[in-house]
């Protein structure tokens, strides 16, 4: 029996039925023309997710490994002997820093408190003092839900002759990313977030001219060397090592579905879902960690109401087949996170809001607290039956 949950997380996600079919396609060998064609199709479709006017100037390599693999591939492959500056304002910026320290002796860091926007003047000033060859930043800092400004940082990088490298793990597939205007040399992402496929694959999209130069750097890893990925892609339309072929079939299907819907249309649909969730949660008098204008379209970070334990909230929602995220690090116990990617319908969102209301009421009554936080909730929002999705997709 497959237990079914509605994944209101920033990934992994509930995948479409088309992907469940695609992942169980025929067995093929990754050193045969079938796989070459599959990889070419994936590459073309991945590049189409971005706003790129001259698509022939870009290439995309696909890595068997989660988003961290793509980030480590970029950080270990693009720096050479030069200096890299990591911009961090959260958990994932911190991870970029940690990874870079392993591979790059000359790793610099500008660090802001979690959930705080970068100070562009500070970055400018830092670059006018230090010679930096590469700047790396997370686009959507998933720990807070904050979207960091690509065009502004890209312009600063260009002005100082630095390559701009972006962790787009939780934004690619949901947010418009203009590679050219933002001067992005390389961007990473993963299969299992806004793209809506299974976990296990990640990729790096980059300018061909930058991929070509990677071979001049001494290799720092075997498995995650981007120069090797690029050489195999260019020469054979293959990957250097054995890829997780079924995941490639699923990724190809996810990308086909996205392009069929239309990239911009899809981004607007994801944003509309976020808006629906945000309006509903505000009606429950919940407050968000950051301003709407700074949020990514895939995730809402919500302050935990006083007297409520986020662990209890999660557990109670799980009993209703709903999965949310808890805050980590300095946000632990203070926030919870609600994602809106994957196969979630409008009904699922209404079901979530009704379940959240019921659980908050129950927990507040249990804590014998005044009902202040929920007292003005609309009385008409009754608990809805669990979505049909559960029954339809249960496999015995
Ligand atoms: C922005 C960002 N970068 C990197 C990662 C790490 O990705 P993975 O867990 O797939 O390795 C995540 C995961 O949530 C993320 O949100």
pLDDT tens, position by position, 2-13: 458 999 999 999
Token pair recorded at residue 259:
């392009």
- Picking from 213, 245, 261, the residue at the C-terminal end of a domain is 261
> Which pLDDT score is estimated for 80?
93
Candidate from 74, 75, 170 with most ligand 1 atoms within 8 A of CB, to mutate: 170
Q: In whole angstroms, what is the distance from residue 318 CA to residue 333 CA?
A: 17
Q: Which ligand 1 atom is at minimum distance from the Cα of 138? A: 1
Span 356-384, average pLDDT:
69
Is residue 21 in some structural domain? Answer: yes
- pTM for this entry: 0.94
Is residue 193 in some structural domain? Answer: yes
> Which pLDDT score is estimated for 375?
45
**What is the distance in A from the centroid of ligand 1 to the CA of 73?**
14
Domain that holds residue 166: 17-261
Q: In whole angstroms, what is the distance from residue 181 CA to residue 154 CA?
A: 8
102 pLDDT above the threshold of 80: yes
> Which pLDDT score is estimated for 379?
42
**Do 29 and 143 belong to one domain?**
yes
What sign results for the dihedral spanned by CA atoms 375, 380, 385, 386?
A: negative
pLDDT tens profile 236-285: 999 999 999 999 999 999 999 999 999 999 999 999 999 999 999 999 99
Partner residues linked to 135 by β-bridges:
85, 164
Which residue, judged by its Cα, is nearest atom 12 of ligand 1?
169
**Do 243 and 343 belong to one domain?**
no
Q: Which ligand 1 atom is at minimum distance from the Cα of 140? A: 1
**Do 37 and 184 belong to one domain?**
yes
Q: Which ligand 1 atom is at minimum distance from the Cα of 71? A: 4
Q: In whole angstroms, what is the distance from residue 181 CA to residue 150 CA?
A: 9
- Picking from 208, 227, 261, the residue at the C-terminal end of a domain is 261
Using alpha carbons, list the distances in angstroms from residue 199 to 63, 64, 156, 327.
Answer: 12, 10, 34, 21
pLDDT confidence of 177, banded at 50, 70, 90?
Answer: very high
More confident residue, 373 or 88: 88
What sign results for the dihedral spanned by CA atoms 261, 264, 270, 276?
A: negative
- Picking from 261, 285, 313, the residue at the C-terminal end of a domain is 261
What mean pLDDT, rounded, does the chain reach?
94
Residue 98 backbone phi and psi in degrees, to 5: -60, -45
Q: Which residues line ligand 1 (CB under 6 A)?
A: 66-68, 71, 92, 138, 140, 142, 167, 169-170, 190
> Which pLDDT score is estimated for 393?
41
Total domains in the fold of the chain = 2
Is residue 6 in some structural domain? Answer: no
- Longest alpha-carbon distance in the chain: 68
Token pair recorded at residue 349:
């969102």
**Do 92 and 198 belong to one domain?**
yes
- What angle, rounded to 10 degrees, do the helices at 33-48 and 226-236 form? 120
**Do 159 and 221 belong to one domain?**
yes
Helix (H, G, I), strand (E, B) or coil at 156: helix
Q: In whole angstroms, what is the distance from residue 163 CA to residue 361 CA?
A: 51
* Residues present in the chain in total: 396
Candidate from 143, 166, 190, 296 with most ligand 1 atoms within 8 A of CB, to mutate: 190
Give the helix ranges, DSSP H, for the chain.
17-22, 33-48, 67-77, 91-103, 120-129, 150-159, 208-213, 226-236, 245-261, 263-283, 310-319, 346-366, 389-393
- Residue 136 DSSP code: E
Q: Are 165 and 72 in contact (CB under 8 A)?
A: no
> Which pLDDT score is estimated for 261?
97
Helix (H, G, I), strand (E, B) or coil at 292: helix
Q: In whole angstroms, what is the distance from residue 58 CA to residue 179 CA?
A: 10
Q: In whole angstroms, what is the distance from residue 306 CA to residue 322 CA?
A: 22
34 pLDDT above the threshold of 90: yes
Token pair recorded at residue 85:
């500056």
CATH number assigned to the domain comprising residue 121: 3.40.640.10
């Amino acid at each position: 029996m497959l237990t079914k949950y509605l994944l209101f997380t920033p990934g992994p996600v509930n995948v479409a039925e088309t992907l469940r079919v695609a992942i169980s396609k025929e067995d093929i060998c990754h050193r045969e023309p079938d796989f070459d064609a599959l990889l070419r199709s994936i590459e073309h479709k991945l590049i189409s997710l971005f706003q790129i006017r001259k698509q022939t100037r870009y290439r995309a390599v696909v890595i068997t490994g989660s988003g961290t693999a793509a980030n480590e591939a970029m950080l270990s492959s693009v720096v050479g002997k030069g200096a890299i500056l990591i911009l961090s304002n959260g958990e994932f910026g911190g991870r970029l820093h940690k990874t870079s320290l392993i591979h790059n002796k000359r790793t610099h860091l500008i660090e802001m408190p979690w959930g705080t926007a970068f100070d562009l003047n500070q970055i400018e000033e830092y670059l006018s003092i230090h010679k930096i060859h590469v700047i790396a930043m997370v686009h959507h800092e998933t720990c807070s839900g904050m979207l960091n400004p690509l065009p502004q940082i890209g312009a600063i990088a260009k002005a100082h002759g630095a390559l701009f490298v972006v962790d787009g793990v939780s934004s690619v597939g949901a947010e418009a990313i203009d590679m050219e205007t933002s001067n992005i040399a390389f961007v990473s992402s993963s299969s299992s977030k806004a793209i809506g496929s299974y976990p296990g694959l990640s990729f790096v999209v980059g300018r061909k001219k930058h991929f070509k130069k990677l071979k001049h750097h001494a290799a720092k890893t075997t498995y995650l060397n981007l120069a090797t990925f690029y050489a195999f892609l260019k020469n054979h339309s293959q990957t250097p090592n054995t890829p997780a072929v079924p995941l490639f079939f699923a990724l190809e299907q996810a990308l086909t579905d996205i392009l069929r819907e239309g990239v911009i249309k899809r981004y607007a649909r994801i944003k509309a879902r976020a808006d629906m969730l945000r309006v509903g949660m505000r009606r429950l008098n919940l407050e968000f960690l950051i301003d709407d204008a700074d949020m990514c379209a895939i995730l809402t970070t919500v302050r935990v109401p006083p007297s409520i334990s986020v662990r209890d909230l999660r557990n109670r929602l799980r009993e209703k087949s709903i999965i949310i995220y808890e805050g980590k690090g300095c946000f632990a116990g203070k926030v919870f996170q609600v994602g809106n990617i994957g196969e979630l319908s409008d009904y699922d969102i209404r079901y979530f809001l009704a379940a959240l209301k019921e659980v908050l009421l129950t927990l507040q009554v249990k804590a014998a607290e005044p009902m202040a936080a929920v007292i003005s909730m609309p009385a008409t929002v009754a608990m809805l039956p669990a979505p049909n999705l559960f029954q339809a997709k249960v496999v015995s």
